[in-house]
Amino acid sequence: MRTAVVAVVKDEERYIAEWIAYQFAIRFDAVILLDNKSTDGTKAAAERFKQHFDVRVFDWTLTTPDYQRKGYEFALELFRNEFAWMACLDADEFLVLDRPLGDMLARHSDAAAIAVPWAMFGSSGHAERPAGLVIESYTQRAPATFGPNRHIKSIVRPKQVRTCRVSHWFEVDGPYVDLAGRAIVDVKARLDDAPDYAAGQLNHYFTRSRADWDAKLARGYHDLQRQPQEFDFYDRNDVRDDSAARWAPKVRELLATVF
């Protein structure tokens, strides 16, 4: 059973290497990147992994509001016969589980899609970009009851996907479940209740530092316009959570084989 992560990325040169290394640390088999007209070294950094890891980089030039949804559909269709499971994530999202990835997927062998809830991380007090890894530098997040934490991202069986409704969820032929195996009957981009992180979560380093937030706004989005004052809303640091930091030694080991 082979697995892959797919992401649509733009101008992530500073962070893309850590993100790719993390995916291999937690034992995904491949990383598929759709480069959305980056103007920095994102693509070059990603391609340096190719000598040692299964990393595939495509130019993705779509700039319509559905650029991400269409990107996921493109990758899922292209690789539907190669991978049993594909996670559709962003480059600021890190999957954290209570068990090895393969064991989690085996637990949900009858599912067509698995919904993973966000755990929104704040700046951890960083005004400027810290020198260390993201997974070590940002260890403060919002409580589970914070509204945006109800959003999900999905790990899907590409052969059972009919369409990507939005970047968060899909129409699939078969059960949609959460990480605990509970069926989600009314599938949509958000859960009805606060998430339960007992079986895992998707660490979403949405703001990072204030300097990163300002750079995010300067870069812009195709599908919405963020405002500077949104930083104060998302910069929640109520709960200490270093769940992803345990992977830091392995991430550094993998990075050392590439750079």
Rounded percentage of the chain residues whose pLDDT exceeds 90 = 90
Q: In this predicted model, what pLDDT tens digit does every residue of 107-128 receive, in sequence order? A: 999 999 999 999 999 999 999 9
- Residue 83: count other Cβ atoms within 10 Å of its Cβ: 24
pLDDT at residue 221 is higher than 80: no
Rounded to an integer, the average pLDDT of 20-26 is 99
Mean pLDDT of all residues in 145-150: 97
Instruction: Delimit the domains of the chain by residue range.
Output: 3-258
Q: What is the pLDDT, as a whole number, of residue 182?
A: 94
Q: Work out the pLDDT band at 224, boundaries 50, 70, 90.
A: low
pLDDT class of 227 with cuts at 50, 70, 90: confident
Q: Which pLDDT score, from 0 to 100, does residue 55 have? A: 99
Q: Which of 83-92, 212-221, 228-237 is predicted most confidently? A: 83-92
**Residue 86 reports pLDDT greater than 70:** yes
Assess contact for 38 and 30: CB atoms under 8 A: no
Which residues have CB under 8 Å from 26's CB, separation 6+? Answer: 95, 97, 101, 247
Residue 103's pLDDT band (boundaries 50, 70, 90)? Answer: very high
Fold of 3-258: Spore Coat Polysaccharide Biosynthesis Protein SpsA; Chain A (3.90.550)
Confidence category of residue 228, pLDDT binned at 50, 70, 90? confident
Decide: 79 and 156 in contact? Cβ < 8 Å.
no
What local confidence, expressed as pLDDT, does residue 195 receive? 97
On the question of pLDDT at 211 being above 70, the answer is yes
Q: What is the pLDDT of residues 168-210, one digit of tens each?
A: 999 999 999 999 999 998 878 789 899 999 999 999 999 999 9
Over residues 51-71, mean pLDDT? 96
